[in-house]
Amino acid sequence: MAYLADQGYKVAPFKVGPDFIDPGHHTTIAGKTSFNLDSWMLSKEYNTRIFNENTKGSDIAVVEGVMGLFDGLSEAGSTAQMAKWLDLPVVLIVSAKGKARSAAAIVQGLENFDKDLKIAGVIFTKTGSVRHYDYLKKAVEQNCRTKCLGFMPRNDSIVMPGRHLGLVMADELDIGKNVLSTLTSMVKDHIDMKGLINCLDAVESTGSSETAISGFPGEQGPTIAVARDKAFCFYYQDNLDILKKFGAKIVEFSPLKDDRLPQNIDGIYFGGGYPEVFARELSQKTNLLQEIKGKSISGLPIYGECGGFMFLCNKLSSMNETQKHSMSGCFDLNVQMSKRLRSLGYREITLKQDTIIGEKGDVLRGHEFHYSSLENDDSTISNVYHVTSRAGQDISLKGYQVSNTLGSYLHIHFGSNEGCAKQFVDTCKEFKDKKNKNVI
């Protein structure tokens, strides 16, 4: 993406799968919002529309896959399925570390596993030398149909720092001109980008944008405050766009920097992120924490997922401390961090009763990924979720609702059921109308 942008191409970036970190880096490098595509959470029609809408005005689209080409319990959710749904060619990326002719066996296996896929070529990474690449290229040319596009030599200085939820976010990591210059030079010097681009077919973007119309013609819709900073940074762009589609006005604030909530709001959305990394700083925002709890008690619609849910709880331990820090206390639950992964996977949610994001019986899809757990599970708090895995097995995870405050470890994609986003906007509008009536 950096090379293409450097060459003057307008790049439309996308990421397959439930990921918030990679799209952040895409957006920084391409200068255009990166959108998630997902064939398990979202329908083929939805993915096609999102792709078409967000390639308009661009010269080239780059879709980063998820895990290996065919990885998943089934084809659903895989990179391969998305490539077929969108009729896009695949560039294979194969590590050459410790390999010679066996690399050709990997390429041959990938090209034969699903012959409905279009493969544009293979790029080898972590090659030791030009001579090493020549061995790889010769083996592929003798045994495979796939074209060799070049290689990326091993460079130990190009390392992305990581933490417990994956790589560091784009907001925290300044990739820097030197690193990008090194990467683009490596692409320019070692990969046949001209050959790759020339073999690509033109794609006509036929989608029409749906950003437009307020769900409340003739009157102002509700204002929803969205927590956005280094502690709260996990949002699907679609979720925010769908809320706006149904008439919500979005205003952002920073729980790390701000001492008060934005004025005249009718709802709050706390996305995921890293509140445990900033637990001490967040606990010192006593006025903000008290205001959030007060708003919750007053019935203001508040939705929190994963890190946002943790922030709505009573106590939270930071990553490297046994000390627990006070959070907003909307839920009388305490969160304990762990050094090991507690849960990961796709999830389907059926609402057990009416909530601020849907009515009883509504079904949504999302994913779960966290390193923390609840120390105390207060059974007096309503559990409004029935959760199953992608295989249909029951999951013990809960969705907690107190008054109009809803929280859970689940990251929900509103694109899986847009009516649930509408329900949240409508609930915020009801609160707004009630508030204005009381003022009058």
CATH number at residue 96: 3.40.50.300
185 is a domain residue: yes
* DSSP codes joined into one string, 325-382: EE---SS--EEEE-SS--EEEEEEEEESS-BTTB-TT-EEEEEEEESEEES---TTSE
Q: Which two tokens stand for residue 169?
A: 């976010």
CA atoms within 13 A on the CB side of 431: 27
pLDDT digits (tens, 9 = 90+) for 59-88: 999 999 999 999 977 888 899 999 999 999
Number of residues written out for the chain: 440
Looking at the fold, whether 156 and 85 belong to one and the same domain comes out as yes
CB environment 219-245: b (16+ within 10 A), e (fewer): eebbbbbbbbbbbbbbbbbbbbbbbbb
Q: Which residues of 344-358 are buried (b: 16+ CB within 10 A; e: fewer)?
A: eebbbbebbeebbbb
Active-site residue flag, 306 = yes
Same domain, 244 and 181: no
CA distance 288 to 125: 48
Q: What is the pLDDT of residues 296-334, one digit of tens each?
A: 999 999 999 999 999 999 999 876 667 889 999 999 999
Residue 164's Cβ-side half-sphere holds a number of Cα atoms within 13 Å equal to: 19
Contacts 24+ apart (CB under 8 A), 94-98: 94/122, 94/123, 94/124, 94/125, 95/124, 95/125, 95/126, 96/124, 96/125, 96/126, 96/127, 96/128, 96/132, 96/133, 96/136, 96/151, 97/125, 97/126, 97/154
* Residue 207 placed within a domain: no
> At which of 137, 165, 198 does a domain end?
198
> Same domain for 101 and 157?
yes
Q: Please say whether the beta carbons of 22 and 1 come within 8 A.
A: no
Residue 272 and residue 185 share a domain: no
For 238-249, the DSSP string reads HHHHHHHHTTPE
Q: 115 and 173, same structural domain?
A: yes
Query: What residues make up the domain containing 391?
Result: 223-439
Q: Which of 144, 148, 233, 306 is catalytic?
A: 306
Q: Given strand 343-351, what is the order of strands in its sheet? A: 394-395, 385-389, 343-351, 363-370, 411-413
Q: Is residue 205 part of a domain?
A: no
Domain shared by 179 and 262, yes or no = no
- 201 Cβ contact list (under 8 Å, min separation 6): 89
Smallest Cα–Cα separation from 165: which of 377, 331, 414, 411?
Answer: 411
Specify whether 17 is located in the same domain as 158.
yes
Of 134, 165, 198, which marks where a domain is finished?
198
Q: Is 330 exposed, middle or buried (0-12, 13-18, 19+ CB in 10 A)?
A: buried
- Mark whether 54 and 100 lie in a shared domain: yes
| CATH number of the domain within which 382 lies | 3.40.50.880
Cα–Cα distance, 239 to 416 (Å, whole number): 10
Structural domains of the chain, count: 2
Say if 217 falls within a structural domain: no
Query: What is the CB neighbour count within 10 angstroms for residue 315?
Result: 20
235 and 107 in one domain? no
Domain closes at, from 161, 183, 198: 198
DSSP helix/strand/coil, 130:
helix
The verdict on 267 and 381 lying in the same domain is yes
Pair 260, 182 in one domain: no
Tokens of 89: 């060619």
Same domain, 122 and 228: no
Single-letter code of the amino acid located at 180: L
pTM for this one? 0.89
**Residue 159 counted as domain residue:** yes
| Residue 213, in any domain of the structure | no
Q: Tell whether 304 is covered by a domain.
A: yes
* Residue 216 forms part of a structural domain: no
> In a structure prediction context, what are the per-residue pLDDT tens digits for the chain, which is 440 residues long?
999 999 999 999 999 998 888 898 899 899 999 999 999 999 999 999 999 999 999 999 999 999 999 997 788 889 999 999 999 999 999 999 999 999 999 999 999 999 999 999 999 999 999 999 999 999 999 999 999 999 999 987 777 665 444 545 455 555 666 778 888 999 999 999 999 999 998 877 665 545 445 566 556 899 999 999 999 999 999 999 999 999 999 999 999 999 999 999 999 999 999 899 899 999 999 999 999 999 999 999 999 999 999 999 999 987 666 788 999 999 999 998 877 666 678 999 999 999 999 999 999 999 998 678 788 876 788 899 999 988 888 888 899 999 999 999 999 999 999 999 999 999 999 999 998 887 64
Alpha-carbon distance of 198 to 120, in angstroms, equals 11
